[in-house]
Amino acid sequence: MKLSVSDVEVKGKKVLLRVDFNVPLSGGQVVDDTRIRAVLPTITDLLERGARLILVSHLGRPRGEVQPELRLDPVADRLSELLGQPVPKLDQVVGPEVQEAVNNLANGEALMLENVRFEKGEEENDPDFARQLAQTADLFVNDAFGTAHRAHASTAGVAAYIPAVAGLLMIKEIETLSRCLEQPARPLVAILGGAKVSDKLKVIHRFLKLADTLLIGGGMANTFLAALDYPLGDSFYEQDLLIDAKNILEASDRSNCCLQLPVDLAVTRELKPQSSFKIVPVGEVAEGWKAVDIGPETAAIYGKVAAEAGTILWNGPLGVFETAPFHRGTEAVARAVAKSEGFSIVGGGDIVAALESFGLAGQISFISTGGGATLKFWEGETLPGIAVLQDKQIKEE
């Protein structure tokens, strides 16, 4: 168990809080503030307990250079509104201006540093840069679960210089994800979709060991069907992953996990909104046609498995949900997951966007704020941004 920020005294302390405020912007405005809201409990707790708060986040991929459109001003504005308290944003990440602003912070006040990825040292996890960042503070709190799979200066490097503990969101993510892997209510059902098998090889192997059923859809399913020598016409699949897919199918024969592939598919000649399509059984995808969604029979089978699940872990949409009507397979299964009495966890940018577009996000037991981080966690990897945090000492009776 990791030491939580609630376990430490923070009054008067300068606290460097790493958050994941990598939010979508449009016209200089935050268009979705979910990630900001997710960290509010930690921020409010720290401010109420009299911490002097230094917020640090990345936004987009500026690759070590200042990109004016990726400045954090709109994010600081939105946070100030949500908190009902001003959060000034500095134009630097480190340096004398930052030091001075931090020294002027009163207990219970916050400021935000500039986009940490404007600095080359961030993604390189440069020790000098990490030390400069750490120097401004007495305590490091990591609440950026979505970035915890990266060993960057502001997610891991700083912990070499100041004590490091987990934020409340981080604790919630770790506890919920761990519980569902270590002591899941059974049956444990994993649903994996998305475009590529290559992104998810490790997690597939791990789920073959842990899950009772693994349901596969999306472009990834095409690669498995191709490995079984089904014709796929012009469908997307990964030619160079056929051997891996065969190995997975063999491993599933030896495992206690039941791996299920689609039995029918929605196929179209051209992938565009409202293009005509037909439903065919697997094995009947003709030349010139692309499989872009699971079919209704598959959706019904997967839905029934979800309805009877004790725990559901889902990453990746089951079809090209961005292009109607090829969202239908994902939506049908999502409705079953939403209704299921099983505990459901969903992680991944696209699948979460899909659930939101169906209006079902509120009916999922836990929406992880990680995409890549959640997958790494499910793979069983130790995430660098978690590894550096202090462990909780178990007190002797």
52 is catalytic: no
225, 229, 231, 233: CA torsion to nearest 10? 70
Distances (CA, A) of 372 to 76, 221, 364: 25, 20, 19
CB of 338 to ligand ADP, least distance (A): 16
Name which of Mg ion, ligand ADP, none residue 184 binds, using a CB cut-off of 5 to 8 Å depending on partner kind: none
Q: Which is nearer to Mg ion, 86 or 349 (CB)?
A: 349
Largest CA distance in the chain: 70
The alpha helices in the chain, defined as continuous H runs, are 34-48, 73-83, 96-103, 120-123, 127-135, 168-182, 201-210, 218-227, 242-254, 296-307, 328-339, 349-357, 372-379, 384-387
Binding marks (x or -) toward ligand ADP, 170..199, rule CB under 6 A?
-----------------------xxx---x
The span from the CA of 101 to the CA of 37, in Å, is 25
Q: Which is nearer to ligand ADP, 2 or 376 (CB)?
A: 376
Identify whether the C-beta of residue 242 lies closer than 8 Å to the C-beta of residue 235. no
Could you say whether residue 350 binds Mg ion (CB under 5 A)? yes
27 is catalytic: no
User: 290 φ, ψ to 5°?
Assistant: -120, 135
Name which of Mg ion, ligand ADP, none residue 195 binds, using a CB cut-off of 5 to 8 Å depending on partner kind: ligand ADP
Applying CB under 6 A, the site for ligand ADP has a residue count of 21
The span from the CA of 198 to the CA of 31, in Å, is 31
Extract the tokens encoding 213.
């059923």
Instruction: Please state the separation of Cα 217 from the chain's center in Å.
Output: 19
Q: How far apart are the first and last CA of the chain?
A: 18
372 is catalytic: yes
| 349, 353, 357, 361: which one binds Mg ion (CB under 5 A) | 349
Written as one letter, the residue type at 207 is: F
Q: Which is nearer to Mg ion, 109 or 356 (CB)?
A: 356
Name which of ligand ADP, Mg ion, none residue 303 binds, using a CB cut-off of 5 to 8 Å depending on partner kind: none
* Given the residues 35, 150, 206, 328, the one annotated as active site: 35
- In the range 199-228, which residues lie near Mg ion by CB under 5 A? none
The span from the CA of 313 to the CA of 315, in Å, is 7
196 is catalytic: yes
- In the range 205-244, which residues lie near ligand ADP by CB under 6 A? 218-219, 222, 236
Q: How many other CB atoms are there within 10 angstroms of residue 17's CB atom?
A: 25
* Given the residues 179, 196, 202, 269, the one annotated as active site: 196
Could you say whether residue 317 binds ligand ADP (CB under 6 A)? yes
Contact range with ligand ADP by CB under 6 A, out of 15-23, 94-102, 107-115, 316-324:
316-324
User: Shortest Cβ contact with ligand ADP: which residue?
Assistant: 194
CB of 79 to ligand ADP, least distance (A): 25
- In the numeric block, the tokens 């499989």 are attached to 291
Could you say whether residue 331 binds Mg ion (CB under 5 A)? no
- In the range 21-40, which residues lie near Mg ion by CB under 5 A? none
Extract the tokens encoding 368.
């992880």
Handedness of CA 93, 98, 103, 107 (dihedral sign): negative
Q: What one-character DSSP code corresponds to residue 185?
A: P
Could you say whether residue 292 binds ligand ADP (CB under 6 A)? yes
User: Shortest Cβ contact with Mg ion: which residue?
Assistant: 350
Name which of ligand ADP, Mg ion, none residue 291 binds, using a CB cut-off of 5 to 8 Å depending on partner kind: ligand ADP
| 215, 291, 333, 389: which one binds ligand ADP (CB under 6 A) | 291
The span from the CA of 131 to the CA of 153, in Å, is 9
Could you say whether residue 315 binds ligand ADP (CB under 6 A)? yes
Which spans of this chain sit near Mg ion (rule: CB under 5 A)? 349-350
Which spans of this chain sit near ligand ADP (rule: CB under 6 A)? 193-195, 199, 218-219, 222, 236, 291-292, 315-317, 319-320, 322, 348-351, 371
